[in-house]
Chain A
């Protein structure tokens, strides 16, 4: 059995939940033989600065719905990093927005990969697509979900008329990751 627990964290408005939705949708709809379950924090705390989406991806039916010890973190704000990093497993893969997050209290086994997603998004003309740049980077660095599956999920998830721009953002993040790897 192969099950991976992932936590997407950032502040409200960055598209954190959408990033989680895209990865979950890619795994369960467009990739082969994968299951995905996404849960969100809906409490009053989720309306504050640190918001998160939790995704479990497995090649078996998912039973327990919540992420308890994330193996992969995608962090887009310092507060999300401070809050969610301690939950992670000792050898977690930590994917961060370089200019927004300085990981503290990393455990020695953790692997950290950074990308200046905000700047790259600005270069593409829209700062708000930084979450999709992050999704591209996530796809390259984790290899968890097939690239084409994620592209299809991006297309299916973003507002109508913005597909092309979002796919460019995805590809930019993906290529940045491939060069880094």
Chain B
């Protein structure tokens, strides 16, 4: 299905990442948002609040992030596409409801414009330290999808993708922006509505009285019903059977939660998107995401100018993590480097996958700004020398 032309601001714009994210949501068909404005994500809800009346959408400024993160789920069960927007401190408050969305299989989008933390940290400066929280922040076992844009253009594009993935897998999708990407202004091209693919919600075709909310009919993702369409059904955060009613047996726990995990894990290869450059035959690969990926490319260009064979693997989806691709590369590459604006989060996931079969270098940074390309460049050189000790450094 194509985008509703009403929400699509076709043309070339000079937008910051926050505003581009808002436009992505509008293009994707989002017509409900709830939030408690927080720097550096405020511009997203500001634009949403001013644009929604033009397209028949509704924005509610809630009393806090806990309320925001559940209001959107009510809107989704009422038939809307919905999102909430926040930054670290608010994201912490939303954790309970992320698990709730995962358990009820509520398709919805959470935007976290990451600032330096912990706690209130540095509101106006970038961080990437919510990456593990996005994956593991709520209790219990579940899977989510997390996307990491590195430019305003991608804030637009990936917001559309986030809504589409949310519908396809009935899962909360996180857009893990950072302050730098959110507040950076660049050219953003918004295509025409007929060029934008939209995944529509898959509604049940069951007759009234026969709808079972978690009956998948052999598939991984069940169709949904819209409240008010006449189906009588019950959904709950308690472990539930196909009818949506609580069942306290290990068998139903296994069946219910296993599918929440498997629908993402077994489809990981379809969900994951990566950007690679010169990874084949590389001695060293820099793995990066978000704003750090742009700084990494600068460092990689410097190293390549020295003749070092260095590849770049950019995580556009951070979760699910690209285990398969990294395992393929481990056999051929001596060292992996990950710079990130935290003291080691995605790095440890990468290290788990590398499993001691290649060297791994963490380039931690507390946030507040981005890495200096020179720092990444020096580590690339060091790693290349370690991998290829027979090559004299002077040869570079």
Residues of A within 8 A of B (CB): 21, 24-25, 28-29, 35-40, 42-44, 46, 62-66
Known: A42-B125, A64-B295, A66-B369. 17 other contacts (CB 8 A): A28-B186, A28-B187, A29-B13, A29-B14, A35-B187, A36-B14, A36-B186, A36-B187, A38-B16, A38-B184, A39-B184, A40-B183, A42-B39, A43-B124, A62-B186, A63-B373, A65-B180
Using CB atoms, name the residue of chain A closest to B124: A42
Residues of B within 8 A of A (CB): 12-14, 16, 39-40, 124-125, 179-180, 183-187, 291, 294-295, 297-298, 301, 369-370, 373
CA distance A43 to B369 in the complex (A): 12
Q: Given A29-B12, A42-B40, A65-B370, do A37 and B295 touch, yes or no (CB 8 Å)?
A: no
14 contacts across the A-B interface (CB closer than 8 A): A36-B14, A37-B184, A38-B184, A39-B184, A39-B185, A40-B183, A42-B39, A42-B124, A42-B179, A44-B124, A46-B124, A63-B301, A63-B373, A64-B370
Q: Given A39-B184, A42-B124, do A63 and B294 touch, yes or no (CB 8 Å)?
A: yes
CB distance from A18 to the nearest CB of B (A): 12
Query: Contact between B185 and A65 (Cβ–Cβ < 8 Å)?
Result: no
Query: Contact between A37 and B298 (Cβ–Cβ < 8 Å)?
Result: no
Query: Contact between A21 and B187 (Cβ–Cβ < 8 Å)?
Result: no
Q: Which residues of the partner chain B approach A63 to less than 8 Å between Cβ atoms?
A: 294-295, 297-298, 301, 373
CB distance from A149 to the nearest CB of B (A): 12
Q: Which residues of the partner chain A approach B187 to less than 8 Å between Cβ atoms?
A: 28-29, 35-36
CA distance A24 to B13 in the complex (A): 11
CA distance A29 to B301 in the complex (A): 27
Query: Contact between B295 and A39 (Cβ–Cβ < 8 Å)?
Result: no
Which of A25, A43, A44, A65 is the one whose CB lies under 8 Å from B294? Answer: A65
CA distance A4 to B369 in the complex (A): 21
CA distance A37 to B180 in the complex (A): 11
CA distance A25 to B183 in the complex (A): 15
Q: Which residues of the partner chain B approach A42 to less than 8 Å between Cβ atoms?
A: 39-40, 124-125, 179, 183
Q: Which residues of the partner chain B approach A35 to less than 8 Å between Cβ atoms?
A: 186-187
CA distance A25 to B188 in the complex (A): 11
Query: Contact between A64 and B183 (Cβ–Cβ < 8 Å)?
Result: no
Q: Which residues of the partner chain B approach A46 to less than 8 Å between Cβ atoms?
A: 124
CA distance A42 to B87 in the complex (A): 15
Which of B14, B39, B369 is the one whose CB lies under 8 Å from A25? Answer: B14
Q: Which residues of the partner chain B approach A64 to less than 8 Å between Cβ atoms?
A: 294-295, 298, 370, 373
Query: Contact between B14 and A65 (Cβ–Cβ < 8 Å)?
Result: no
Using CB atoms, name the residue of chain A closest to B373: A64
Q: Which residues of the partner chain A approach B125 to less than 8 Å between Cβ atoms?
A: 42-43
CB distance from A7 to the nearest CB of B (A): 15
Q: Which residues of the partner chain A approach B370 to less than 8 Å between Cβ atoms?
A: 64-66
CA distance A124 to B373 in the complex (A): 46
CA distance A44 to B125 in the complex (A): 11
CA distance A38 to B180 in the complex (A): 10
Using CB atoms, name the residue of chain B closest to A68: B372
CB distance from B291 to the nearest CB of A (A): 7
Query: Contact between A37 and B183 (Cβ–Cβ < 8 Å)?
Result: no
Q: Which residues of the partner chain B approach A62 to less than 8 Å between Cβ atoms?
A: 186
Question: Which 7 residue pairs are nearest across A and B when measured between Cβ atoms?
Answer: A42-B124, A25-B14, A38-B185, A28-B187, A63-B298, A63-B294, A43-B124
CB distance from B20 to the nearest CB of A (A): 13
CA distance A35 to B151 in the complex (A): 13
CA distance A44 to B12 in the complex (A): 32
Using CB atoms, name the residue of chain A closest to B179: A42
Q: Given A29-B13, A43-B125, do A21 and B298 touch, yes or no (CB 8 Å)?
A: no
CA distance A77 to B183 in the complex (A): 24
Q: Which residues of the partner chain A approach B297 to less than 8 Å between Cβ atoms?
A: 63
Q: Which residues of the partner chain A approach B184 to less than 8 Å between Cβ atoms?
A: 37-39, 65
CA distance A29 to B12 in the complex (A): 7
Using CB atoms, name the residue of chain A closest to B294: A63
CB distance from B352 to the nearest CB of A (A): 29
CB distance from B131 to the nearest CB of A (A): 20
CA distance A46 to B185 in the complex (A): 17
Q: Given A42-B39, A66-B369, do A37 and B14 touch, yes or no (CB 8 Å)?
A: no
A21, A36, A42, A63 — most chain B CB neighbours (10 Å) = A63
Which of B39, B183, B294 is the one whose CB lies under 8 Å from A39? Answer: B183
CB distance from B130 to the nearest CB of A (A): 19
Q: Which residues of the partner chain A approach B180 to less than 8 Å between Cβ atoms?
A: 39, 65
Using CB atoms, name the residue of chain A closest to B297: A63
CA distance A151 to B311 in the complex (A): 42
Q: Which residues of the partner chain A approach B13 to less than 8 Å between Cβ atoms?
A: 29
CA distance A62 to B150 in the complex (A): 12
Q: Which residues of the partner chain A approach B179 to less than 8 Å between Cβ atoms?
A: 42
CB distance from A16 to the nearest CB of B (A): 14
Q: Given A29-B13, A64-B373, do A21 and B185 touch, yes or no (CB 8 Å)?
A: yes
CB distance from A124 to the nearest CB of B (A): 25
Query: Contact between A37 and B185 (Cβ–Cβ < 8 Å)?
Result: yes
